[in-house]
Chains A and B, each alone.
Chain A
Amino acid sequence: MVFDYQNTFDEVRDGKPTVAILPIGATEREGDHLPVGASTLVLETVSRQIAEGLGEPTYLLPVMPFGTSGSFVGSAGTISLSWSTLMDVITDLVESLARQGITRIVVIDSLGGAGGSMIRPGENYIVKTAVRQMNYDHPELDVLWVQPFTAAARDLKVIMDFPKDDAHAGELTTSLLMHLAPDLVQSNAQDHVPPIGKTALDWVPFAALCPDGVWGHPSRATADKGKLAIAAAVKQTIAYIQESFAYLSQAKQRA
């Protein structure tokens, strides 16, 4: 059973959700062929499917439409929060969930991808610290973070042609949008992989490395890959959440 912003407070009260999900999207340049709200659009579907598949009463929050998109600031359509603002947003929302007795909370951090890491998020890096701090400040809570397409990295390596090169507005995100909202996808995308690692994004704006706003192979995108990728991401994320909560319950010796 999933509760969301269309429910009334008494429906949530009576439904007693045992887990809450906070998805963090983005509004940022996605090449010149994808909508600036691509991450938000994907997460609306993916977070709902995850909520529906968890098998317990779940409170699904709306997708936070902004993350840390500093690499794209200045480009049309980009809205970026500073890391401290995003950390405070997550902190406040988690605390307000704790205050109403929801003690298991999952932050679904943007999309991730085949080249991502389960240890350090590729987008909204500060989510890792925000979640860690929440668990310290609130010992009664179990707060997790997960990037759904990173959880499905193994599947993506089979589904995609260029999994490792894919960082932004590339094969994955273009495939996802082709599946979910094809009328929002333009056909002008050029493949591009800069001759430098992603660490360079700590030093220069994205456009300095990728003038057209693409890091990957959008020309290889297909709607079918998008469909398969979503199914894998939902399945693997649900498994990660369930296994993680089960482990933590035991490790922290909860009743």
Chain B
Amino acid sequence: MRFTNYCNTSSQIRERNPEIAVFGIGAIEQHSYHLPLGTDWLAVAEITRRVAEKLGAFLVPALPFSMSECHGPMPGTVWLKPKTLAAVITDVVNSLQAQGINRIILVNGHGGNFVLEAMIRELNLARPSLQLVMPSGELVISVEEPIFETGHLEVHAGEGETSFHLAFNAEHVKTDKSVDYVPPVGREFLDYAYMSFISESGVWGCPSRATVAKGETALDAEVRSICQEAELVFKFLDEQSASRAAATTRS
């Protein structure tokens, strides 16, 4: 199944008539000494490309920027405010619906984007024809053997993120510069202080445990999980629509 993306012409996309669009949210932010600033953006671009390929979807260019203010002014970090991010996604959804695509898979590449669930709910409830879903990516991973030893300890630039990056951008991973650190507080402390106050290295996790093999397994599992979850949700929503339509006809 061939997918379409920004390298296609408008008429090529129109001929394919994609029913689903895939849109990744990246980030440009500090990832300690061993991972590049664009880690989240590059990872989500790779994941969404693979998801779009599997589903024959329209791949929207991944948004490079999102709510990275949690990393404060650590050099290289740039960010959008919550309302700005929500506005970008709303505009993207509007553009997709205007061209007849009502099924949208949003893939969140940065953990700090806490406006997303709120805005997704509002949009879906306001627009009965819209099916905007943000799969957690954990459906498959939680059922199988855990891939990462320290996944539960990781918030940023740890075993998981580092393994992922080794799987497709290894030349930009500086393994020998990585530092392990797990702060003595819960991750909600990022609601109270910049990352730099909590972790000087910018790490929250154990990148030393990262391997290429774990990354490749996880990348594969996440792509499968997103596709499976999205398809289940779309099926559920279609059934919902059908039973609503049947109820309307009866009344």
Query: Which of the residues A8, A84, A213 comes within 8 Å of B37, measured between beta carbons?
Result: A8
Asked if B60 and A76 make an inter-chain contact with CB atoms under 8 angstroms apart, the answer reads: no
Asked if B63 and A65 make an inter-chain contact with CB atoms under 8 angstroms apart, the answer reads: yes
Asked if B36 and A6 make an inter-chain contact with CB atoms under 8 angstroms apart, the answer reads: yes
Q: Which residue of B lies closest to A37 (CB)?
A: B6
B80 within 8 A of A: yes
Asked if B73 and A93 make an inter-chain contact with CB atoms under 8 angstroms apart, the answer reads: no
CA distance A127 to B61 in the complex (A): 21
CA distance A41 to B61 in the complex (A): 11
Asked if B80 and A89 make an inter-chain contact with CB atoms under 8 angstroms apart, the answer reads: yes
Contacts of A64 in B (CB 8 A): 64-65
Q: How large is the interface on B (under 10, 10 to 19, 20 to 34, 35 or more residues)?
A: 35 or more
Contacts of B75 in A (CB 8 A): 9-10, 12-13, 100
Q: Which residue of B lies closest to A38 (CB)?
A: B6
CA distance A33 to B12 in the complex (A): 9
CA distance A36 to B36 in the complex (A): 28
Asked if A9 and B14 make an inter-chain contact with CB atoms under 8 angstroms apart, the answer reads: no
Contacts of B37 in A (CB 8 A): 4-9, 12
Asked if B6 and A40 make an inter-chain contact with CB atoms under 8 angstroms apart, the answer reads: yes
* Least CB distance, B87 to chain A, in whole angstroms: 4
Contact digits for B1-18, partner A, Cβ 8 Å, 1 yes 0 no = 000111111110110000
B49 within 8 A of A: no
Q: How large is the interface on A (under 10, 10 to 19, 20 to 34, 35 or more residues)?
A: 35 or more
B51 within 8 A of A: no
Contacts of B80 in A (CB 8 A): 88-89, 92-93
Asked if A35 and B92 make an inter-chain contact with CB atoms under 8 angstroms apart, the answer reads: no
Stretch at the interface among A23-31, A107-115, A242-250: A23-31
CA distance A184 to B36 in the complex (A): 30
Q: Which residue of A lies closest to B81 (CB)?
A: A92
Contacts of B77 in A (CB 8 A): 9, 96, 100
* Least CB distance, A200 to chain B, in whole angstroms: 21
Contacts of B35 in A (CB 8 A): 8
* Least CB distance, B195 to chain A, in whole angstroms: 11
Contacts of A62 in B (CB 8 A): 28, 38, 41, 64-65
Asked if B41 and A77 make an inter-chain contact with CB atoms under 8 angstroms apart, the answer reads: no
A186 within 8 A of B: yes
Asked if A9 and B65 make an inter-chain contact with CB atoms under 8 angstroms apart, the answer reads: no
Asked if B34 and A34 make an inter-chain contact with CB atoms under 8 angstroms apart, the answer reads: no
* Least CB distance, A120 to chain B, in whole angstroms: 23
User: 23 A-B pairs, CB-CB below 8 angstroms?
Assistant: A5-B37, A8-B34, A9-B29, A9-B76, A31-B10, A32-B10, A37-B61, A62-B28, A65-B61, A65-B63, A69-B95, A75-B10, A75-B99, A76-B13, A77-B14, A78-B98, A79-B91, A79-B92, A79-B96, A91-B84, A92-B78, A93-B78, A186-B9
- 20 A-B pairs besides A35-B9, A64-B65, A79-B91 with CB distance below 8 A are A5-B42, A6-B37, A8-B31, A8-B177, A10-B33, A62-B28, A66-B88, A66-B92, A76-B99, A77-B4, A77-B8, A79-B95, A88-B80, A88-B83, A88-B84, A92-B84, A96-B73, A96-B77, A96-B78, A181-B7
